[in-house]
Structure 1
Amino acid sequence: MNTIKPSSISLEYNEFKTLSTEGTGKLILQCLGGSGWITAKDDPNDYIVYEGCVLEFPENQPAILLQGLSSKLEIEVRRVEC
């Protein structure tokens, strides 16, 4: 298993960001602080994340939308190639 260098996203309360999902490997989002709402295209679930939560999305995930629900949402984004 090979992990690609992680990046981070910071969002303020009620700020939105569309995450680019291009690349190879499974997409992993880990909440490092705050809380947020995450929804993914073609995924029937919506997710509320808090510090410590980890979400995994498949390699072919078309789009992900994030919204900050607290004063500061910190998300680490990384890809894992198998």
Structure 2
Amino acid sequence: MRPWHAPRRWSAAAPARRRWEFMRLPGESAAELDTTEAAWRLLAPHGVTPETATLLRSTTYRFRAMWAEQWRRAASSSPGTPRI
């Protein structure tokens, strides 16, 4: 992923697969962004249009960051026990 920061919206793209991610801005609903029209509107400033690309899928999701109290536990003394 190659991130870049537009004046208002964080976004990232993976050029080999042409995967794009755009941050939902305050005041925007997931429903209004979960349309083909919204996808093309977000891609247009980057030169991606229906004439230059094929939109295979588009969706919205919620990123949920969490804090871990513990990253890993030490491996058990038993061979073959997976680390957690």
Class of the TM-score when normalised by the shorter of the 2 chains: under 0.3
Instruction: Pick the structure with greater CA Rg.
Output: 2
Comparing both structures, which one devotes a greater share of its residues to strand?
A: 1
RCO higher in structure (CA 8 A, sep ≥6): 1
> TM-score, length-normalised on structure 2?
0.24
Comparing both structures, which one devotes a greater share of its residues to helix?
A: 2
> TM-score, length-normalised on structure 1?
0.24
